[in-house]
Amino acid sequence: MEFQEPIHRHTALRSFSREHHHGLLLCWKIREGLKNKVATSRIKQYADWFYHQHLAQHFDVEEQHLFPILGKNNKMVRQAIAEHQRLRVLFMLDNDSVDTLDLIAAELDHHIRFEERVLFGEIQQRATREQLLLLDEIHQEIPDDNQWADRFWE
């Protein structure tokens, strides 16, 4: 899976970028599961777990500490928040159809790439040194998902 963090990413943003890497891995795992015709309930269980353990918190931290650097009226921030809302709804759906899982993978993938390629560049440019230092202190990076036993993507 290709994912390359931009070289000049500030330390304070690198932890977010590593979480993005895990998010992109989720998209890849969902697609692998679908491709291999794994029971969708197994994929959905993992997606739910990942959402509650990782993603929900990642979205909240971005909204509380990262996006305010550009302000909530910023067009890119508004787009990112709207995408979070849509993803929250998709993850919370009690529906393990192929279409829903496919949509989750597509929209999460798109959202993360938008943040990495566009939004984070802008935040890094506009943030003050103090804001970045504070961010670095506040953000507790969410660890990897090694403990999930049902590795349907392998």
**Contacts with Fe ion in 51-70 (CB under 5 A)?**
62
Torsion angles phi and psi, residue 50, rounded to 5: -65, -40
CB of 8 to Fe ion, least distance (A): 18
Chosen residue from 30, 115, 119, 120 binding Fe ion by CB under 5 A: 115
Query: Which residue's structure tokens are 């506040």?
Result: 138
Q: Tell me 15's DSSP state.
A: H
- Report the chain's C-alpha Rg in angstroms: 16
CB of 37 to Fe ion, least distance (A): 30
The answer to whether 124 and 9 have CB atoms below 8 angstroms apart is yes
Find the part of the chain contacting Fe ion (CB under 5 A) among 71-79, 109-117, 130-138, 142-150: 109-117
The answer to whether 91 and 41 have CB atoms below 8 angstroms apart is no
CB of 109 to Fe ion, least distance (A): 12
- Residues found near Fe ion in the complex (CB under 5 A): 62, 115
